Amino acid sequence: MLTAHRLGKRYGEKRVLRGVDLELPDGGFLVVTGPNGSGKTTLLRICAGLAAPTSGTVERRATRAELGYLGHEPLVYRELTALENLDLYGRLYRVPERRERIGMLLERFGLWEARHDRVAAYSRGMTQRLALCRVLLHDPALLVLDEPYTALDEAGAELLDDQLTELRGERTFLVSTHDPARVAPLASGRLALGT
Amino acid sequence: MTYVRDVGALARKDLLLELRAKDTLPAMLLFVAAVFVVFHFALPGNPSRLETTGLLWVAILFTALLGLGRAFVPEREQRTMDGLVLAPCDRSAIWLAKSLATLAFLGAAEVVALPLYALFFHRIGGSTVLAVVLADIGICAVGTFLGAMAVVTRARDLLLPLLFLPLAMPIVVGAVGASIGHSPGRYLGFLALYDLLFGVVCWGSFEYVVAE
């Protein structure tokens, strides 16, 4: 599903990634770990197609329609409601039975009651739950998740655990985390980045 | 057909955001009204049609610049451009939708601005109204394209006018010519040609603006 060979990335003089190789087969679950500044986010952005490597190559079999990306930002509009945000992405991703799918996800992540509230009124944890709904909306084949447990309370984290467990094997995952123990039972491999 | 639906969904989002945040249109309205009021008192006596036509176009251009500067602010502040760029739609749909939304804001500002101009200065003819429509299209097409380029830079507030104003000169020439010239048809044709050429260039190259 995803192969990277000798990936390198520089921002001006600063070298963020150096010679990273990874191979993620269909159905795999690769956990990326490393201290702050080790290039986890940069690696995931390159793998998602949001950034270009300075050196090396990355080959991704999933198209944009088959990719679900969760970054540090939730990628939702604060002045729109949860429903409006998901409806926008649902239209752009041409999700079949969009309304039902949106309703199901909002229900699952505990946001149904707040669906008509603007995201600006959401807590950070609720916004992260909405971001997860956005990522899962089009049922992507490849999920690139950067610190997916950020800001989630225990109930939210358990919801995400359940979701990942349900999709494990059927979907391919590239997940960065500071808490590898949490996803260890699901992981098929681990990539540790240094500083 | 899916392209039209994508553009519709994205433009609807921009209109909704403005409806909620009210960041752009009120600023444009206040600015253009203030310009006309100030010039009404700053130009003594009875200024000629030639002078005030120039003023009209300067006011329209800078009002548009105000809207263009705000066009990509939600995407910058909330980093949502990543989400739009990753969506499987044609990326030019992002540009087209944003241009249409900015065009709607500029048009709404002009619905107030043109009668104000007529009130303070001179009546507006049909050729001027047509020139406004054609100029707006060019301004929004080129300005939105440049706005997307400028928004990722630190000097975005400076960069957008620096890039936009030279490229808007042909619009000013065509628009002023259509407003006061003896054969407005030639100038309107020139504006239409500008819209077509720059519209196609912006549409075809927007992909490279948003992709790293």
- A185: number of Cβ within 10 Å: 11
Calculate how close chain A gets to B107, using CA atoms only, in Å.
23
Report, as an integer, the average pLDDT of A179-189.
89
pTM (2 d.p.): 0.91
pLDDT digits (tens, 9 = 90+) for B15-35: 999 999 998 999 999 999 999
| CB pair distance less than 8 Å for A65 and B20 | no
Q: What is the pLDDT of residue A195?
A: 57
Q: How far apart are CA B98 and CA A154, in angstroms?
A: 40
Across chain A, mean pLDDT equals 92
pLDDT digits (tens, 9 = 90+) for A32-41: 998 888 899 9
Q: Which of B5, B14, B16, B80 to mutate to test the interface with A (most CBs of A within 10 A)?
A: B80
Give residue B188's identity as a one-letter amino acid code: L
- A97: number of Cβ within 10 Å: 10
Contact predicate A151/A122, CB 8 Å:
no
- The helix or strand, by DSSP H or E, that contains position A157, with its residue range, turns out to be helix A154-167
Smallest CA-to-CA distance from B59 within B114, B137, B123, B99 is with B114
User: What's the ipTM?
Assistant: 0.90
Smallest CA-to-CA distance from A22 within A184, A183, A174 is with A174
Smallest CA-to-CA distance from B202 within B132, B140, B136, B133 is with B140
Contact predicate B201/B146, CB 8 Å:
no
pLDDT digits (tens, 9 = 90+) for B162-210: 999 999 999 999 999 999 878 889 999 999 999 999 999 999 999 998 8
Residues of B engaging A, defined by a Cβ cutoff of 8 Å: 2, 5-6, 9-10, 13, 16-17, 20-21, 74, 78-80, 82-89, 212
Q: How many residues does chain B have?
A: 212
Asked if pLDDT for residue A1 goes beyond 90, the answer is no
Domain boundaries, chain A: 1-62+143-195, 77-140
**Chain A residues closer than 8 Å to B16 by CB:** 79-80, 84
| CB pair distance less than 8 Å for A64 and B20 | no
For the domain made up of A1-62+143-195, give the CATH fold: Rossmann fold (3.40.50)
Residue B114 pLDDT class (50, 70, 90 cuts) = very high
Q: How far apart are CA A159 and CA A95, in angstroms?
A: 22
Please state, for a pLDDT cut of 90, what percent of chain B lies above it: 77
pLDDT digits (tens, 9 = 90+) for B30-82: 999 999 999 988 887 788 888 899 999 999 999 999 999 999 999 998 899 99
Smallest CA-to-CA distance from B173 within B160, B186, B163 is with B186
Q: What is the pLDDT of residue A194?
A: 79
**Which residue, chain included where needed, has tokens 């253009």?**
B32
